[in-house]
Chains A and B, each alone.
Chain A
């Protein structure tokens, strides 16, 4: 049973436009949500996180939105750049837990 779901395996966006990556979760005990970015042959790199007491967190071009009632979060990248092309993983954990539950990832391609 997948507790964290990324239903879009891939997404293509033009350079300069907005990229929106979506993630749904089923476990209401999750309190922390994270996004990781992964380039080929490299490990995932932590990008941005949000706790369940917030509904938005922003860091430069990256913004994560959390809708707890819908158990949905999204990552917005504005403006998208070719260097953003990578696989993006959504992850979640309960408060006080060290274990992250990951989605299967969404491959983002930003077209110049």
Chain B
């Protein structure tokens, strides 16, 4: 597609349930990033994938969070046993893997609400 596609756009889940968020990056983009934005906060880095290299998971807030990227394309972010503090907009971005000076392209995000 022309842009980064994320699904679902909105997700309401009960505390304790698992959720999966999906990201389809721009075709040909080797780098993929997940960020999240909690209410009133800036974007917080979660995880980075680049080609076939091991992902940088240093931003994942707890072991309830995991992500994978299959075939160098689609990525899924999974949150297990969701908590209310997980409520946020989860944003996926992709890039050609060049320097950050050129920016990344973000998707529209998934708004997650844990009730």
A102 lies within 8 A of B93 (CB): no
* Min CB–CB distance A52 → chain B (angstroms): 10
B103 lies within 8 A of A46 (CB): yes
A98 lies within 8 A of B31 (CB): yes
* Min CB–CB distance A13 → chain B (angstroms): 22
For chain B, give the interface size range. Answer: 20 to 34
Q: Does A41 contact B (CB under 8 A)?
A: yes
Q: Does B50 contact A (CB under 8 A)?
A: yes
- Per the CB 8 Å criterion, the residue count for chain A at the interface is 26
Count A/B pairs, Cβ under 8 Å: 65
A46 lies within 8 A of B31 (CB): no
Cα–Cα distance between A104 and B41 once the two chains are bound (Å): 5
Cα–Cα distance between A91 and B100 once the two chains are bound (Å): 10
* Chain B stretch 42-78: residues in CB contact (< 8 A) with chain A: 42-45, 48, 50, 56, 59
The 0/1 profile, CB within 8 Å of A marked 1, for residues 14-56 of chain B is: 0000000000000000010101000011111100101000001
Q: Which residues of B contact A97 (CB under 8 A)?
A: 100
B99 lies within 8 A of A32 (CB): yes
Q: Which residues of A contact B102 (CB under 8 A)?
A: 46, 49
B100 lies within 8 A of A32 (CB): yes
Q: Which residues of A contact B56 (CB under 8 A)?
A: 98-99
* Min CB–CB distance A14 → chain B (angstroms): 27
Knowing A98-B48, A104-B40 touch, does A46 contact B104 (C-beta < 8 A)?
Answer: yes
